[in-house]
A and B are shown apart, each in its own frame.
Chain A
Amino acid sequence: MKGVWACIASVLRTKVAEQMAYRSHFFLSVILLIAGDLLVPMITLLVYRSGASFPGWSMHEALLIQGVFGLAKGIAFPLFFGMVSSTLSLVREGTFDLLLLKPRPALFMTMLNGLDPEDFGRLLSGGVLFGYALSGLPTPTFNGWIHFAALFAASLAVLCAFSLFLSGLLFRWVGSSRVYDIFDSITSFGMYPGTIYAKSFQQLLTYVIPVGIIAFVPASALLGRTGWGTLGAAAAAALFIAAGIAYWHRMLRGYTSAGG
């Protein structure tokens, strides 16, 4: 385990050094990421300011969901999602071989290679939004925080699973940069209160493609709106990540490298 942390620390240090080689690009990217992530909350704000609303949800409650979404992306993107872009380029160029020549599990090496400190900027936008949303809500209970922490871990597991599915797909769909669009369009459903959708669609978003677990379910825990269904959602997240890991390894077996 010590070796794993040493690897992560060493690679992160190297990646930061790499980013610092082009500081203006780094800062510009962080600013653009923050601006991009604040776009949907701005629209939510405008919707509520104009008198409309998501039925049964106050503005701060709706923003809390989007804040949690931002926080989850702020952790998942720098840690896991870089593997999607690194798989995209490494498989296309045939340099994925170099990762397989390292004495660590292939999945771990792919994640290490994809570590992207630039994406930690998303934590800032998510954190600001989360804090702003909480400021307009009653203070959550201790139990609410405990539930939230557990469900936030499930949220990260779901995002990690998404990155595994997308990365795995790229072993077959070599060079298909459109996988990001698949992610964006599917997860955009998770940025709004689940109750605005039809019941059957809610079930789909919680138990089958669990995008509801990314933000809606953890935010509900802070708002004291969780029930027994939360356990099912946590189980769905566990299954989803297990399926993601299995899928990724299965797709890796089909890796054919590039011509030498």
Chain B
Amino acid sequence: MIEVSNLSKTYMTHERGHSLREITANLIRRPMKEVQAVKEISFSVGQGEMVAFLGPNGAGKSTTLKMLTGVLHPTSGEVKALGLTPWKQRSEYVKRIGAVFGQKSQLLWDIPPVDAFYMNKAIYGVPDRDYIRTLDRLTTLLEVGDVMRKPTRQLSLGERMKCEFIMAMLHGPELVFLDEPTIGLDVIAKENVRDFIRDMNRQGVTFILTTHDLDDVEMLAERVIVINQGEIVFDDGLNVLRGRLGEKKAVRVTTDIPLPDMPMPGVAMIKRIHESEAELEIDLEITPLKGFIRYFNETYGIRDMSIEPLPIEVVMKELYIGSAKLP
């Protein structure tokens, strides 16, 4: 569905000064700096996949997505998506894709979402029958029947986001780009949005998800692409990403005796909550779980304990700072 090969984007930006002297000098001469936002990246996405495209701020993920949606022209490289080159066959291409931006609304602030939907219907040339059928289906699925007739400004963030999804899906796109789709939403609204995405994905819609919310990734994506400093540093299944954590567990423990900073070999202090309560990371290759529990109980006296797999934040942090070993 998407084939990306050696895609690069370089742009020029002004180097702005901070001091009064530099700012004054910039009035006359503004030095330019070349920024290589994306460096010859290649990957492919199959139909019906749900791929998380992740990276720290400024890594190049938004630039990549903008090239994939046809908004930006690349400096070099090729993209074939739905059999088309996005920036060359933009009109034909965008008719078949959708996009939801958590921080950029497509709705109109002062009028009800249904009016914006109707405007989109005309722009996409959706026939009346298809429009009514799709709108009915989506409003039922997202439970926004009454909401969409209120002015957008009166809607909650969750309701607005649901309407953003309707706006993006009305023309029946085969490929949808999601950029921070759950940003700012409460737990229930997040769950509703995730359910909707999963539902659409089951119906064959391909999703490319960009987010900093790793819960979204864990609950939605099957595959993760991580970009850092313009280069792809990871491209594999979510299970493989978890596997990179090695045999490690996260433990939250409360003890009778205060815990030292280095309680035992193979156990690292992640966060001290209280002098006798902490979050620890156990490397099971060094310290087996049984040995850890026995030693801790005998030495510090366990009062309460919970054991969980390490969150993927840990490996993401490693990938982001570039210290992770590549497979």
Contact = CB atoms under 8 A, between A and B. Distances in A.
B119 A10 contact: yes
A112 B151 CA distance: 21
A157 B125 CA distance: 28
Interface in A1-47: 3, 6-7, 9-11, 13-14, 17-18, 21-22
A260 B72 contact: no
10 contacts: A10-B119, A18-B108, A100-B94, A101-B71, A103-B94, A103-B125, A105-B91, A256-B11, A260-B65, A260-B210
A103 B95 contact: yes
A77 B124 CA distance: 26
Contacts, number: 84
B104 A97 contact: yes
Q: How large is the interface on A (under 10, 10 to 19, 20 to 34, 35 or more residues)?
A: 20 to 34
A253 B73 contact: yes
A249 interface: no
A100 B151 contact: no
A97 B119 contact: no
B181 to A, nearest CB: 14
A49 interface: no
A22 B110 contact: yes
Given A7-B123, A17-B111, A257-B72, 12 more contacts: A10-B118, A14-B111, A18-B111, A95-B104, A101-B69, A102-B94, A102-B124, A103-B94, A103-B123, A109-B123, A260-B63, A260-B179
B66 interface: yes
B115 interface: yes
B59 to A, nearest CB: 10
A259 interface: yes
A247 B198 CA distance: 44
Contacts of A106: 90
A17 B115 contact: yes
Contacts of A3: 122, 125
Contact of A14 (B61, B70, B119): B119
B289 interface: no
Contact of B91 (A22, A104, A112): A104
Best-buried of A21, A101, A102 by chain B (most CB within 10 Å): A101
Nearest to A252: B73
Contacts of A144: none
Residue from the set B11, B61, B62 with the largest chain A CB neighbour count within 10 Å: B62
B206 interface: no
Interface in A87-102: 94-95, 97-98, 100-102
Given A14-B116, A257-B66, A102 B110 contact: no
A11 B115 CA distance: 9
B92 interface: yes
B123 A256 contact: no
Interface of A: 3, 6-7, 9-11, 13-14, 17-18, 21-22, 94-95, 97-98, 100-106, 109, 112, 253, 255-257, 259-260
A98 B119 contact: no
Contacts of B104: 94-95, 97-98
Contacts of B101: 98
Contacts of B182: none
Q: Is the interface of B mostly helix, strand, loop or mixed?
A: mixed
Contacts of B99: 101
B73 to A, nearest CB: 7
A197 B115 CA distance: 51
Give the most central of A97, A100, A106, A260: most B CB within 10 Å.
A260
Interface string B93-127: 01101010100101010110001101101111100
Nearest to B62: A260
Nearest to A7: B122
B62 to A, nearest CB: 2
Contacts of B123: 7, 10-11, 102-104, 109, 112
Nearest to B118: A10
A11 B124 CA distance: 13
Contacts of A13: 115
Nearest to B95: A103
B125 to A, nearest CB: 5
Contacts of B111: 14, 17-18, 21
A100 B71 contact: yes
A103 B92 contact: yes
Most buried by A among B66, B73, B95: B66
B88 to A, nearest CB: 12
A17 to B, nearest CB: 5
A115 to B, nearest CB: 11
Interface in B226-263: none
